């Protein structure tokens, strides 16, 4: 079974530029998460989707961050404009909701963003 | 502040030794706990989980212990191998809320 796929794996941009990340969850996983992980820290949730609906976006900086999951499968996370402090690893995870195992989130490899 | 923390940022062991990684959590209402392993340049990898109605759960070479009285979680790795070297995160969850991760413990295994 293929795991969570993310692209690109690395991205270097100048501040004030836009950037987008893409995630393809594990097949059949209806819950999708975007996390941000700063160096030396644990992941922090940005947004959680149940199918197409964003059910928890309380930690998403909505002035510059946006996300979508139009068909309930793939998702994109966008930053516009990027700031120096956005440099981090952006992780996507997925899980199956509505089951006893729904808490288990499986992570992708992440996109490493460096803003110069 | 963080609701999940780890006692030690680093742990160094010899190959073949047993490793114990500790985690303290602050939310007594948390009902699900999980350990992840993260190798350099990779995303967190699921190791083992435990629900609050259990005290112990065993996997292959790993055991998770939950002490709700003192809000403590530990991960035991038997016969630690060089491939176990990574950062280990514990995380907690309450109901339908998001996972909250701690800062991680870096495990270094020397041959």
Identify the CATH number of the domain in which residue A58 sits: 2.60.40.10
The neighbour count for residue A90, using CB atoms within 10 Å, is 23
- Over range B16-36, report the average pLDDT: 93
More confidently predicted of B2 and B21: B21
Decide if A42 contacts B101 (C-beta within 8 A): yes
Task: Flag whether residue A83 sits within 8 Å of chain B, measured between CB atoms.
Answer: no
For chain A, give the percent of residues with pLDDT over 70: 95
Q: Which pLDDT value is given to residue B58?
A: 97
Give the Å distances, CA to CA, from A14 to A6, A18, A26, A50, A110: 21, 9, 32, 33, 20
Number of structural domains in chain A: 1
**pLDDT at B48 (0 to 100):** 96
What pLDDT shows up at residue A7?
97
- Please give the share of chain B, as a percent, with pLDDT higher than 90: 79
Ordered domains of chain B (ranges, CATH): 4-110 (2.60.40.10)
Under the banding of pLDDT at 50, 70 and 90, the label for residue A97 is: confident
**What's the DSSP call for residue B98?**
P
Q: Which residue of A has its CA nearest to B4?
A: A42
Query: Which pLDDT score is estimated for A114?
Result: 98
- Give the three-state DSSP class for B82: helix
By the CB < 8 Å criterion, does A33 face chain B?
A: yes
Q: Which residues pair with A6 in a beta bridge?
A: A23
Rounded distance, CA B98 to CA B111, Å? 38
Q: Residue A101's pLDDT is what?
A: 52
- The neighbouring-strand residues paired with A49 are A32, A54
> Rounded mean pLDDT of chain A?
93
Range(s) of the domain holding residue A16:
5-115
Token readout for B51 is: 């629900």
Distance to chain A for B15, nearest Cα, Å? 25
* Mean pLDDT, residues B33-45: 95
Interfacial residues of B (vs A; Cβ cutoff 8 Å): 2, 4, 32, 34, 36, 41-46, 49, 89, 91, 93, 97-99, 101-104
Minimal Cα distance from B94: which residue of A? A103
Q: Which parts of chain A are beta strand (E)?
A: 5-7, 10-13, 19-24, 31-37, 44-50, 53-56, 65-68, 75-79, 88-95, 106-107, 111-115
Please list, in sequence order, all residues whose beta carbon lies within 8 angstroms of the beta carbon of residue B78, skipping any fewer than 6 positions away: B18, B61, B62, B63
Contact state of A91 with B43 under an 8 Å Cβ cutoff = yes
Is residue B7 predicted with pLDDT exceeding 80? no
Chains A and B form CB pairs within 8 A to the count of: 50
The first and second tokens of residue B95, run together, are: 């109901």
Instruction: Pick B101's closest partner by Cβ from A40, A43, A104.
Output: A43
- Using pLDDT thresholds of 50, 70 and 90, give the confidence band for residue A2: confident
């Amino acid at each position: 079974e293929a795991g969570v796929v993310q692209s690109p794996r690395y991205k270097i941009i100048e501040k004030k530029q836009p950037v987008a990340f893409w995630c393809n969850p594990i097949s059949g996983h209806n819950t999708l998460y975007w996390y941000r992980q700063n160096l030396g820290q644990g992941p922090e949730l940005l947004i959680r989707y149940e199918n197409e609906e964003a059910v928890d976006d309380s930690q998403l900086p909505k002035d510059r961050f946006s996300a979508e999951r139009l068909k309930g499968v793939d998702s994109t996370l966008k930053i516009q404009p990027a700031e120096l402090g956005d440099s981090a690893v952006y992780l996507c995870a997925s899980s199956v909701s509505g089951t006893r195992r729904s808490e288990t989130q499986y992570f992708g490899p992440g996109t490493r963003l460096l803003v110069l | 502040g963080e609701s999940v923390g780890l006692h030690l940022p680093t742990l160094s062991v010899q190959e073949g030794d047993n490793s114990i990684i500790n985690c303290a959590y602050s939310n007594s209402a948390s009902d699900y706990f999980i350990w992840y392993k993260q190798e350099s340049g990779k995303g967190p990898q699921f190791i083992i989980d435990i629900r609050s109605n259990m005290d112990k759960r065993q996997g292959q070479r790993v055991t998770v212990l939950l002490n709700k009285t003192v809000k403590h979680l530990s991960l035991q790795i038997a016969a630690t191998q060089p491939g176990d070297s990574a950062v280990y995160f514990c995380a907690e969850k309450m109901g339908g809320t998001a996972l909250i991760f701690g800062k991680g413990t870096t495990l270094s295994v020397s041959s």
